Amino acid sequence: MESATPPQQVAGGSSWGAFLKSIASFNGDLSSLTAPPFILSSTSLTEFSSYWCEHPSVFAAPAKEADAAKRASLVLKWFLTTLKQQYASRSEQYGNEKKPLNPFLGELFLGKWEDDAGTTELISEQVSHHPPATAYNITNLPSGVRLEGYNAQKASFSKTINIKQIGHAVLTVPVPSSSDRETYLITLPALHIEGLIFGSPFIELEGTSYITSSTGFTAKIDYSGKGWLSGKKNSFTAILYPTGKEKDVLFNVSGQWTKTFEIHTGAAKSNNKNNLIDTWDPALFPLSELIVAPIEKQHPLESRRAWAKVAAAIAKSDLDTVGLEKGKIENAQREMRVKERAEGRSWERRYFTAQNDTPDPVLTSLGPTVSLAEHGDADKTGGLWRFDSGKAAKAHDEPLPSEEDAGKLARELLGQ
């Protein structure tokens, strides 16, 4: 794991101080932040979708639980275990949060996990560029547990970078010994960057997020950080209750999302070792390894292949080449959009379809509980994105483009 980089003057005259000044006047467009080279990450935001499932057996566990309330508590547990990967996996030592690559429209990140939970497949696609939005679908094949969702970020500056996440996730869990499936609607927490002034940025979550289920349970998660006088970094408390009856707490969870947490039955006031039913310590549960095809076997639009030259230049801190190679992709993408407009067509997403005209059944039934609009803020994410199994089957059956066709695609779409 890399260590935190202290504020410094770097070759090319790009200093942390200059970066802070540019942040203070930035317009909310995260992609426009010109960060110094030591803060650039070679990981694209399309890869972040994998952070939802780095413990596939925890992801699949609810499908084995017969009791509906306990199932909901396992879903809550899984969600809480993902927070460390989502928001701190890149900055384990704290203070090393970097600026990810801003994906191009149509960028793909595909992978799978093979472990005790069987095969779990991941599909992530950049479905919108203006505004930037990433959609994903993750399926554990043996259990049928499936997560789909999409997200965008709305950033603002007030003392630091504040990010509101727009979008949501939907988890589908097959109910054991039945043909029923239950759905969980998951909202995404807001976050801000701490430690900016010291040149060691890390994420703190804030506010409240929810998980609400078609079987009538809601989990409310409250995030807090280290205050001036008390509190610990990355803290949270969560309660699970029958939807609409917040006082009838069935389970409560508390701890730090980067460290350990405990699950008790009932309300927190009665917590003791007799009602402690589960604990989580990430140190005891190693992450399952995500398998990604070698670059030469990837589709030209797959993230690590498309950004390979930029990533190599970032690794060498060669800012000129980073700028040049990024510029090639951005220009080719701009030209493609102009061409599409002239031809009266738009980019065909490979795995997802925007469902803007038909009311979404999950948002219609569960959205009001968690204050999510029926249209899912589609105007801020370029659409209400849902996984399209028809498109996925077609993509699955399509052979990889020949070397010649891959070259053509890379030239046309990525300027390479």
Q: Which of 14, 44, 73, 86 binds ligand HC3 (CB under 6 A)?
A: 86
| Per CB under 6 A, 96 contacts ligand HC3 | no
| Per CB under 6 A, 81 contacts ligand HC3 | no
Nearest to 158 by CA among 117, 116, 196: 196
Interacting span for ligand HC3 (CB under 6 A) from 31-39, 236-244, 299-307, 368-376: 31-39
Tokens 């102009």 belong to which residue? 338
Neighbouring CB atoms inside 10 A of 5's CB total 18
In the 8-state DSSP scheme, what is residue 214?
T
Interacting span for ligand HC3 (CB under 6 A) from 67-75, 91-99, 124-132, 356-364: 91-99
| Per CB under 6 A, 203 contacts ligand HC3 | yes
The residue type of 320 is D
Q: Least distance (Å) from ligand HC3 to the CB of residue 378?
A: 18
Nearest to 38 by CA among 361, 315, 384: 315
Q: Least distance (Å) from ligand HC3 to the CB of residue 202?
A: 9
| Per CB under 6 A, 238 contacts ligand HC3 | no
Interacting span for ligand HC3 (CB under 6 A) from 95-103, 277-285, 316-324, 360-368: 95-103
| Per CB under 6 A, 151 contacts ligand HC3 | yes
Interacting span for ligand HC3 (CB under 6 A) from 28-36, 140-148, 244-252, 387-395: 28-36
Q: Which of 190, 193, 392, 409 binds ligand HC3 (CB under 6 A)?
A: 193
Is residue 131 reached through a cis peptide bond, with omega within 30 degrees of 0 on the bond before it? Answer: yes
- Written as six digits, the tokens of 274 are 């007799």
| Per CB under 6 A, 98 contacts ligand HC3 | yes
Q: Least distance (Å) from ligand HC3 to the CB of residue 163?
A: 5
3-class SS of residue 57: helix
Count, residues near ligand HC3 per rule CB under 6 A: 20
Choose between 117 and 203: whose C-beta lies nearer to ligand HC3: 203
**At 118, phi and psi to the nearest 5?**
85, -150
| Per CB under 6 A, 97 contacts ligand HC3 | yes
| Per CB under 6 A, 39 contacts ligand HC3 | yes
Alpha-carbon dihedral sign for residues 329, 335, 341, 343: negative
Q: Least distance (Å) from ligand HC3 to the CB of residue 237?
A: 21
Q: Least distance (Å) from ligand HC3 to the CB of residue 37?
A: 11
Counting every residue written for the chain, the total comes to 416
For helices 308-315 and 319-342, the axis angle rounded to 10 degrees is 160
Interacting span for ligand HC3 (CB under 6 A) from 30-38, 125-133, 323-331, 338-346: 30-38
SS (H, E, C) 12-55: CCEEHHHHHHHHHCCCCCHHHCCCCHHHEEEEEHHHHHHHHHCC
Q: In this structure, are residues 362 and 148 in contact, taking their beta carbons and an 8 Å threshold?
A: no
| Per CB under 6 A, 48 contacts ligand HC3 | yes
**H-state helical runs in 230-360:** 303-306, 308-315, 319-342
| Per CB under 6 A, 30 contacts ligand HC3 | yes
Distance CA 323, CA 34 (A): 11
Distance CA 6, CA 34 (A): 18
Identify any residues that bridge with 162 across adjacent strands, giving them in sequence order. Answer: 156, 192
| Per CB under 6 A, 190 contacts ligand HC3 | no
Choose between 99 and 259: whose C-beta lies nearer to ligand HC3: 99
| Per CB under 6 A, 87 contacts ligand HC3 | yes
Alpha-carbon dihedral sign for residues 109, 115, 116, 118: positive
Q: Which of 46, 50, 81, 153 binds ligand HC3 (CB under 6 A)?
A: 153
Instruction: Using CB under 6 A, list all residues that contact ligand HC3.
Output: 30, 33, 35, 39, 45, 48, 86-87, 97-100, 151, 153, 161, 163, 165, 193, 201, 203
